[in-house]
Structure 1
C-alpha cells in the first residue's frame, strides 16, 4: 500500500503536465466586452503560463441557457450539446489552442447574447468568466 502511494506521488511530482496544470490559471477578461448587434466579437480566455489546450475539452457556457453550452469542443465541436441560438455562430481558433488560447468568437451578435459566459477546461479543473454587453447602434 505504501509503495503504491509513493509511486503515485512520484509520478505526480515528476510529471510536468500535472505540475503545469496545477500552476496554470485560466484568465478571462477583467473588463466587460462590448459589442453592437450584428458585430462579430471575441471573448478572450487563455491559460497562463501558456500551456497547450489542443487535446483538452473546451467548454463555453452561459447561465440560463438550456442546453447551457454555447460551444463544446471535445476533439470536435459537439453540435448536439450546443444551444440552438448559437448554431454556426461560434468558433475557437484551433491553431491557437497549442498556445493556451481558448478564446471564442461569436459571429453576428444578437441582443440575447448579452450576459456572463464561463470558459472552462474540465479536465484541468479551470474556469474563467467573461461578461458581454450588447448594444444597438442609432442609425
Structure 2
C-alpha cells in the first residue's frame, strides 16, 4: 500500500478509516515539518473526482526576552522563552545554558540532568504541561548572586533559522530588600516624631487651660473678699459739720 509513498512521509500519514464509509477521505500528517509545505491533491479515480488543498507550515522561532529579569537573592526566577508561532515541543530537545555552562536539558518528555552544573543542581525545572503550547521557560529557585548572567535557551533540532533565545538575569543583594524595610522604619520614625509634637501641643494647651482656671479662681476669691468686708463700727467717731 505504501510502496510508492515518498520516504519523507513514511509512518507519518494515515486516513480516517472509520470515516471512509461516510465519505471522509481526509488525511492526517504527524510531526509536520517545514518541508511538508505544498499543495496536496486527493483523487478518487473511480468517481473521477479530485480536490486539492494548500498546506503552509510556518517556521516557529525561539523567542527569549529583550528585558532583563531582576530578582533578589533567595527569590525564585522564571526565565521566559517560547516558540512563536506556538509549536508542540514535547518531543523536542531544549537546552538551557548560562555562559556555556549547562543549566538544564529537556529531551522527549524527560529531564536529562547528568551534565548539569553543580551550581544549578536541584534548583531548575521546566513547565512540562506547557511544552505542547511552545512554552519552554525555565524556573530557577533560591537564586544566588552566582546565578547572574546571560542565559541561552536552545532548540538544536528546530527547523527554523532562529533556534536560540537569550535572557539576562540580574540578581540584587539581599540588602536591597532590607533597605525597603528601613524605608518603612524611617516612615515609622516620622510617625513617632509627629506623635511627640502632638503630645507637646496638647501639653501646652492643657497648661494654658490650667493657668486660665487658676486665674479665674483667684479673681472670684478677690470678689468675695470685697463683698464680705466687715461693716464699720457704730462707735466710730462722726466728723462734725462746720
After TM superposition, the score normalised by the length of structure 1 is: 0.82
Please state which structure has a larger fraction of its residues in strand.
1
- 1:72 matched residue in structure 2: 105
Name the CA distance, whole Å, in 1 between partners of 2:81 and 2:144: 21
Q: CA deviation at 1:17?
A: 2.2
- 1:28 matched residue in structure 2: 64
SS at match of 2:130: helix
Determine which structure has greater relative contact order: mean sequence separation of CA pairs < 8 Å that are 6+ residues apart, divided by chain length: 1
Q: CA deviation at 1:137?
A: 2.8
Please state which structure has a larger fraction of its residues in helix.
2
For structure 2, list consecutive stretches of 5 or more residues without a partner in the other structure.
1-5, 11-28, 35-55, 179-242
SS at match of 1:72: strand
Distance 1:54 1:135, change over 3 A: same
CA displacement, residues 64-111 of structure 1 (integer Å, 9 cap, x when unaligned):
5xxx21001123222211001111100000000000000000000000
Answering whether residue 165 of structure 2 is matched by residue 128 of structure 1, we say: yes
For structure 1, list consecutive stretches of 5 or more residues without a partner in the other structure.
1-6
Who wins on radius of gyration, i.e. which is larger?
2
After TM superposition, the score normalised by the length of structure 2 is: 0.49
Q: Alignment length, in residue pairs? A: 128
Name the CA distance, whole Å, in 2 between partners of 1:79 and 1:9: 32
